Amino acid sequence: MKLFFIRHGETVDNVAGVYAGIRDSALTSHGFQQAQRLGQHFNTTSVTFTHIFSSHLQRAFKTGEAIRAVQTDIGTLVDLEDTAADAENPLAGEEGVRIIQLPLLAEQDFGYYEGKPFYARVKGSNTSGKDAHHEEHKNDPGFVDVESKESMAKRSDIFLDEHLLPLIQKPTQDPEHVVAIVSHGIFLGNHWRCLLRRLPPRSVQYTPEVRARNPGRIVLEHLGGWSNTGYLELDIKQSRNALVPEVALADSNSNAARSPDGQIAGEPVVTEEDASVPLERPFEHEP
């Protein structure tokens, strides 16, 4: 199975420099063009999605819609009433690939800070402007805190259990599943780490392009850092009971894989012992 974690295009709130988590910020004209170019990139590289999951927020959904529109002129866009069972056969009949919109894939909720400008770091302080403001106002009436990493991880785990892992584990007689998850930068970083925890230890391999561009160490958990319409590409293979993903990073402006932070965690290998580890075993970090 091929799996793509994709960030949405540029939004009005990106340009304005304000916090936009669950705030439903629209794509700019440039953001829509970015999404179209990304769809064209997938088309020219022969990537045809069999499943597209999207955050229910319009910036992610519209990005997914632009990607879908390039690969087919048909398709029924589904809403929150669609079930996981509907996603198992998305190409049935003449409807084409469907976009499954899910609040589970929404961005981190910034609470009180939604729609507010980024707070500058206090001069001479190591504390971020937002953290400093949080300490000053956290007990104010009506203050709503930022969604925790634990809450986002819970949403990620539900999505993995109910939507993604059934596709990975279900045999198919058709061409392999090619799955897009169109979401948001902070959530995607969290979601990638949640998926890593489901993989057998030492089971991740990097593409030659990623290794060539990063001769040092790559921090596996921090392979994110998505720009607008940037994406993480994984080629997931079954080895006995284990998943063996191959990882590449790219964005809509480049056909080459890249690592945005230039860091990596050891040379991963797959051993016979690793190959017998069940999917539920948690990921173990390299020293």
Helix axes 185-198, 149-159, angle to 10 degrees: 60
Helix axes 58-71, 29-44, angle to 10 degrees: 40
CA distance 150 to 165: 20
Extract the tokens encoding 47: 């990537």
Per-residue pLDDT in tens (0 to 9) along the chain, 287 residues: 999 999 999 999 999 999 999 999 999 999 999 999 999 999 999 999 999 999 999 999 999 999 999 886 533 343 333 433 444 444 433 356 889 999 999 999 999 889 988 876 566 677 777 777 777 777 888 788 899 999 999 999 999 999 999 988 876 666 789 999 999 999 999 999 999 999 888 888 888 877 777 777 777 887 756 799 999 999 988 766 555 566 665 544 433 333 333 322 333 332 333 333 333 333 333 32
The torsion angle over the Cα atoms of residues 80, 82, 87 and 89, rounded to 10 degrees, is -150
Q: Are 183 and 191 in contact (CB under 8 A)?
A: yes
**Domains defined for the chain, CATH in brackets:** 2-77+94-121+141-235 (3.40.50.1240)
Extract the tokens encoding 24: 């439903």
What's the confidence (pLDDT) of residue 204? 86
CA distance 276 to 56: 37
Binding residues for substrate: 7-14, 59
**Total-model pTM:** 0.76
Q: Are 51 and 92 in contact (CB under 8 A)?
A: no
Binding residues: 7-14, 59
